[in-house]
Amino acid sequence: MIGLFGTDPYWQELLRQEGISFTVGTTELEKLDVLIIDRIPSASELAQVRKFADSGGGILTDSLCASAVWPQLRPRKQRSKYIVPDSSPLFRNVGIVDLNTDTWLLQQANVGTTQNGISAISVGRISRGWCVLLPFRLSTVLAATGSKPRVFYARTRKQVYEIVATVGRGEVRRLISNALRFLLAEVGLPYVHIHYCRPGQSGVFGFRVDTDFDSLKNMQFTRKIADEVGMHFSWYINTKAHGQHLTHMRNSILQGHDVQIHCYEHELFPDYENNLIQLKHADSILRKAGFRPIGAAAPYGEWNPEWNKALSKLGFLYSSDFALVYDDLPTRPVIDGKPSSVLQIPVHPICLGRLAASRADSAEMIDYFKRYIELQTSRFEPCFLYGHPANIARFPSVIETVLKYGLLRCGSWSSLTDYARWWQERGKAEFRVGKQSGKFVLETTRQKPELEIMIEWQDRYRCLPFRSGSFDLDKLSWQPLPPRVAFNRRTVAARRHDRGLIGKEILRQLRKRIQIKGRHSK
Ligand SMILES: [Zn+2]
């Protein structure tokens, strides 16, 4: 059993994303296999935590909490931009972990390095047990909601970049889930969690279209591509630009597809009132045309808490904004100390347009998206791409090849909205796993045919139906985990260009706003 020592909402949300069974505010430490220390223990609790380590249990915490328990540890404060992976199992299928926050480094650190080449994470024995000591406070890292230009490595002549969250939430979560896999394995236990996909599926593939100011002709063409590859897209409508065509589009371009809100005015507002007005307006235009939106994707992938509050007020199920989260499992942003009712359904932030701006040729574009699809499927994680009709019409063979490859690797497609609905149900499922007379016992409150439990053990995995039962690790028929995707060292060199992008980005933003102003005045 994994136990959270305190009640930190960021830790709880991350463990729910993974779909693992855990206890909160745990006091009976002797019942645990792995203890996550998410707050500094009080003076009276210190002996209890040390006793747990003496008993041989695994500990996952940050270096500040650890130094309160073991004063011989002396963390040194340093601002860290990111952690570069090494060959440790903690970095299995993990890329550069973007932090851009204060970290506390230990002399004992031996895994991963900061941008300055200093060791970042400490993995080793404390007393009889194993521990993983992170150099960052999870709540501090995940509370940061800023965004900035980031280079995404591609084999192109010019840098490929987009404005995304300063924190790589997906990599932070994957690093932590690998730490849990490692600590559980050290005490002889498998990693058991609710699968990220529907039963029988090894991946999730989807495509989001932002209609922006595109022509009907380009949107018709986009629909044709969807029909040719045999999938439905998720369309996010600019209701001001396309509102008058929606009734017609409903019976043609959008028929049978997932239709949600992009915007009324193509911009995100800093305040709650304006975001609310814009969302209500867009919602009423879509409703008049016969649609029932429950999701949104803000212009430019931007996000702020006021946008989230407006979505929550109107009862929206989800939003998809890479300025907050990208390349991750769905998550609920923590707002005012509580997970929001509005889910985030992350997409990969680089679209065809960004690759075209970097003068990528067709082969380079296909190579870029194929590598991303391969990485996500190796992680069993969803693979949602996005684009705009104009670029789809400009590079039809690229998009067709990419979509066909995504379908082949992931096995099927899903709309973002269907996946959000499924994820919402997944979040309600609870189970316990324990050991009784040599066998593992799964206990679920209710049987859920739409979910599976995934068991990972020594580079192998097995999915079981989500219902109570027991299993013997030696007798399960296992499948090998997909091979580890090698970390590309060139991504480190690419990261050093992030700073030079800021001036370029200011110009791009200015050009975008001028273009839009021009369109508004027409
Ligand atoms: Zn847009």
Q: Structural domain boundaries of the chain?
A: 2-194, 205-423
Ligand 1 mean position, distance from CA 46 (Å): 52
Ligand 1 center–CA 214 separation, angstroms: 10
Distance, in Å, from the CA atom of 9 to the CA atom of 362, rounded to the nearest integer, reads 44
Residue 501, pLDDT > 80, answer no
Number of C-beta neighbours around residue 460 at 10 A: 15
Name beta bridge partners: 205: 383, 413
DSSP SS3 for 279? helix
Distance in Å, CA 273 to ligand 1 centroid = 21
Q: DSSP secondary structure string, 117-183?
A: S-EEEEEEEETTEEEEEESS-HHHHHH---EEEEEE--SSSS-EEEEEESS-HHHHHHHHHHHHHHH
pLDDT above 50 (res 521):
no
How many A from CA of 292 to the centre of ligand 1?
20
- Dump pLDDT digits (tens) for 250-272: 999 999 999 999 999 999 999 99
User: How many angstroms is it from 302 CA to the middle of ligand 1?
Assistant: 10
Gap from CA of 457 to ligand 1 centroid (Å): 43
Cβ contacts of 292 within 8 Å, gap of 6 or more: 286
Write down the CATH number for the domain with range 205-423.
3.20.20.370
CA of 436 to the centre of ligand 1 (A): 54
Q: Is the pLDDT assigned to residue 313 strictly greater than 70?
A: yes
The answer for residues whose C-beta is within 8 angstroms of residue 242's C-beta and 6 or more apart is 211, 249
**303 C-alpha vs ligand 1 centroid, how far in Å?**
13
Q: How far apart are CA 171 and CA 175, in angstroms?
A: 6
Sorting pLDDT into bands at 50, 70 and 90, what band is 249? very high
Cα 440 vs. chain centroid, distance in angstroms?
30
CA of 228 to the centre of ligand 1 (A): 25
Average pLDDT (239-251) is 96
- The full DSSP string for 169-234 is HHHHHHHHHHHHHHHHHHTT--EEEE-SS-TT-S--EEEEEE-TT--HHHHHHHHHHHHHHT-PPE
Strand ranges (E), 85-128:
97-105, 111-114, 119-126
Q: Return the pLDDT at 409.
A: 95
pLDDT digits (tens, 9 = 90+) for 444-500: 988 999 999 999 999 999 999 999 999 998 999 999 999 999 999 999 988 877 666
For residue range 278-310, list pLDDT tens digits in order: 999 999 999 999 999 999 999 999 999 999 999
Q: Which CATH superfamily is domain 2-194 in?
A: Class I glutamine amidotransferase (GATase) domain (3.40.50.880)
Distance 168 CA to ligand 1 centre (A): 22
Better-scored residue on pLDDT, 505 or 83: 83
Residue 372 Cα to ligand 1 midpoint, Å, equals: 22
Q: What is the pLDDT of residue 518?
A: 58
120 confidence band (pLDDT: 50, 70, 90):
very high
Ligand 1 geometric centre to CA of 417 (Å): 18
CA of 263 to the centre of ligand 1 (A): 8
Distance 449 CA to ligand 1 centre (A): 37
Confidence of residue 247 (pLDDT cuts 50, 70, 90): very high
Question: Residue 520 pLDDT more than 60?
Answer: no
Give the model confidence (pLDDT) of 49-108 as tens digits.
999 999 999 999 999 999 999 999 999 999 999 999 999 999 999 999 999 999 999 999
Look at residues 89, 511, 492 and name the one whose alpha carbon lies nearest to residue 300: 511
CA of 356 to the centre of ligand 1 (A): 17
For the stretch 397-412, pLDDT in tens is 999 999 999 999 999 9
Beta carbons of 423 and 343 less than 8 angstroms apart: yes
Determine contact, residues 323/302, Cβ cutoff 8 Å: yes
